[in-house]
């Protein structure tokens, strides 16, 4: 199945209900060719990254960390798409040490904070840059128009890298499966069970599989750096072959 290609036609945290969306468009600092000619690395949440700690060889690369990646990796961009996740990292509770750790790590993150914006009702603070989430199932090469997020942050991060112009994309921690009872390299998310995560990952996997042929036709190379990943629609390599 093919998909249409969309091109351009021409610290104090304030409770989110108290302000309108003050996030700025990502196009204020990046454009559709910002990463042209550069390879990019997407840090997802799979358990295979649990023991990956040597980020130094990637420090000068273009990198996108997904969701809680800022706890461990100083990526170029931290990308997320869930309003509930935004709430969880901007609110902190003295009664919850994990909440405080997450909040403090978020405040300390030095990279670019990016969230998908689905509507004007989304409430984000001025430290955030947003990328418009488009409804049409397409591969967008125009950052101004936005990206199709596919319903999961790992897929959205890949689409963001494509919109930024990267033609060589490497996926790390894109396992698309649970390992034993381990769902993520970090502590995971509240109210999730192993069974539920496994079911959701199977759904996420289908989105990658549907778009893989169209991505390849555009001359964009996507490499999965987990040889044991359940995602088989992209070529696989060991990370040591790349860095």
Digit-coded pLDDT (tens) for 78-107: 999 988 889 888 877 666 777 788 899 999
- pLDDT (tens digit per residue) in 12-41: 433 444 445 688 999 999 999 999 999 999
Task: Give the residue-averaged pLDDT of 128-155.
Answer: 96
Sorted by where each begins, the domain ranges of the chain are: 21-242
Q: Classify residue 242 by burial, with Cβ atoms within 10 Å: 0-12, 13-18, 19+.
A: middle
Phi, psi of 27 (to 5 degrees): -70, -5
The continuous run of DSSP H or E covering 89 comes out as: helix 83-90
Q: CA 238 → CA 51, 97, 161, distances in Å?
A: 14, 36, 21
- pLDDT (tens digit per residue) in 45-87: 999 999 999 999 999 999 999 999 999 999 999 999 988 889 8
Residue of 125, 129, 34, 46 whose CA lies nearest to 80: 129
Looking from the CA of 196 toward its CB, the CA atoms found within 13 Å total 6
- pLDDT (tens digit per residue) in 133-144: 999 999 999 999
Cα–Cα distance measured from residue 24 to residue 40, given in angstroms and rounded to the nearest whole number? 23
Cα–Cα distance measured from residue 121 to residue 133, given in angstroms and rounded to the nearest whole number? 13
The continuous run of DSSP H or E covering 188 comes out as: none
Residue of 71, 112, 111, 76 whose CA lies nearest to 88: 71
Cα–Cα distance measured from residue 64 to residue 43, given in angstroms and rounded to the nearest whole number? 6
- pLDDT (tens digit per residue) in 190-208: 677 788 888 988 999 999 9
pTM over cut 0.75: yes
Residue of 138, 186, 169, 221 whose CA lies nearest to 62: 169
Beta bridge partners of 185: none
Select the highest-mean-pLDDT range: 2-6, 130-134, 198-202.
130-134
Q: Quote the pLDDT of residue 170.
A: 98
Q: Quote the pLDDT of residue 7.
A: 57
> What class has domain 21-242?
alpha beta
Task: Give the residue-averaged pLDDT of 145-170.
Answer: 97
Token duo for residue 210? 């549907």
Q: Quote the pLDDT of residue 83.
A: 87
Residue of 115, 107, 120 whose CA lies nearest to 86: 115
């Amino acid at each position: 199945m093919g998909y249409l290609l969309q091109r351009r036609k021409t610290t104090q945290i304030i409770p989110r209900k108290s302000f309108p969306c003050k996030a700025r468009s990502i196009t204020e600092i990046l454009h559709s060719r910002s990463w042209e000619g550069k390879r990019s690395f997407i840090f997802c949440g799979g358990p295979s990254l649990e023991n990956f700690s040597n980020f130094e060889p990637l420090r000068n690369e273009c990198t996108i960390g997904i969701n809680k990646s800022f706890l461990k990796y100083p990526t170029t961009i931290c990308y997320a798409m869930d309003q509930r996740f935004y709430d969880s990292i901007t609110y902190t509770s003295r009664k919850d040490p994990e909440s405080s750790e997450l909040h403090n790590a978020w405040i300390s993150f030095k990279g670019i904070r990016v969230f998908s914006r689905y509507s004007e009702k989304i409430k984000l603070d001025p430290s955030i840059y947003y990328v418009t989430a488009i409804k049409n199932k397409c591969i967008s090469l125009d950052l101004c128009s936005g990206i199709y997020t596919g319903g999961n942050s790992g897929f959205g991060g890949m689409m963001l890298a494509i919109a930024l112009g990267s033609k060589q994309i490497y996926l790390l921690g894109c396992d698309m499966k649970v390992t034993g009872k381990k769902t993520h390299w970090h502590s995971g998310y509240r109210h999730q069970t192993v069974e539920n995560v496994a079911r959701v990952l199977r759904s996420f996997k289908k989105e990658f599989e549907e778009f893989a042929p169209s991505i390849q036709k555009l001359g964009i190379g996507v490499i999965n750096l987990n040889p044991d990943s359940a995602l088989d629609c992209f070529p696989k390599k060991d990370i040591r072959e790349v860095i």
